[in-house]
Amino acid sequence: MEPDSSLHTIFNGALDHEDPEERSRFLEVACGGDPERRGQVERLLEAHNEAGGFFSNTRKTPAAAENPGTGGLAAEKPGDTIGQYKLLQQIGEGGCGAVYMAEQHEPLRRRVALKVIKSGMDTRQVIARFEAERQALALMDHANIAKVLDAGATGTGRPYFVMELVRGIRITDYCDQHNLPTAERLALFNLVCQAIQHAHQKGIIHRDIKPSNILVASHDGVPVPKVIDFGIAKATTGQRLTDNTLFTAFEQFIGTPAYMSPEQAELSGLDIDTRSDIYALGVLLYELLTGRTPFSAKELQSAGLDAMRRAIREQEPARPSTRLSALLASDQTATAEHHRTDSQKLIHALRGDLDWIVMKALEKDRNRRYETASGLAMDIQRHLEDEPVLARP
């Protein structure tokens, strides 16, 4: 932790020196002549400048300043009205925002999901990220991505936006509760890949693909996944979600550790591209096949920051078939039953193509991963059609 903390201190100190020559002299002394450390700080400073100075900027808007005691509480309650939407119940909550099921009466009657920034949390940085999420969703038009329907501001000036109400459960829970065979899980996963491919084609990287952000519901007996929560989405090169937005603050994890790519675990966040989503899709596929993530979320959380980052960046996970083989017999049986098969048949089904496909998506070196989400989906389709897969060694 100490090196990271000192880097943060150097970064903040450098911001106090606006003159380029003074800043250079400060960095030379503060970094002790260490070119690697200086390079890290300079990359952070460059990103800060490109983002218009929002890095570590938590100045509050007037609305927040007038309500210093709210402490980020949801000011709304069921029965309240925001715009033309009556709040029915709170269905989700994050650090800065709350999500409600709401009812719209005009021009048509329907139930929607309304996301609003909590009172007291409406800093410029939070508002920029919130607006970026809305714009990211508005850019997309795909059957498997939640749609934005409307946007506005509350009476106190806090932004909100309205999305279609996604009624569903986590993709992993859906597959297990319905005991979907492996082939059906793969087909469902491919729909998710197509949705992520659409986002990538629109210039958006999700950066937090995980089961809770992919909800599945049955429509006429057919499972339909919906990708939600683009709250930490990132624009690819050449695409801006807002005029001045920097999503990755120093020493802030962007993503969920168990699904985080090695490059995200670097913490700088200055060189993240669509292949980070490919890695997360690989983790999701691993979980759909084995019932477990490549690295235990509980173990990662208890390991401490440095050990967690090191494991994600350096430790090679077991292949899905190997992981399943190492489980207790009772756990093997339980997992296999969720696939409507027995443990030995499931292990055999994973060995070969599916092992190779998953491990290619999980490559530490992103240059060795699938280049696109559609490329991953196509290899899975080849497996389903008994054709040679590209992931084969």
Quote the radius of gyration of the chain (alpha carbons, Å): 23
Inter-residue contact 162 to 116 (CB < 8 Å):
no
Inter-residue contact 71 to 90 (CB < 8 Å):
no
Residue 181: what residue type? P
Task: State the catalytic residue, choosing from 4, 16, 173, 208.
Answer: 208
355 is catalytic: no
Closest by CA to 56, choosing from 191, 251, 258, is 251
From CA 14, how far away is CA 376, in angstroms rounded? 43
Closest by CA to 137, choosing from 210, 199, 224, 84, is 199
Using DSSP's 3-state secondary structure scheme, residue 152 falls into: strand
Residues whose CB is less than 8 angstroms from the CB of residue 185 and which lie 6 or more positions away in sequence, other chains included: 175, 288, 289, 339
- Provide the H-helix boundaries in the chain: 2-15, 20-30, 35-50, 62-65, 124-139, 171-177, 182-201, 275-290, 297-303, 305-314, 320-325, 329-337, 343-350, 353-361, 373-384
CB atoms within 10 A of CB 26: 17
Place of tokens 């057919």: 222
From CA 389, how far away is CA 381, in angstroms rounded? 9
Place of tokens 């990211």: 136
Catalytic residues: 208
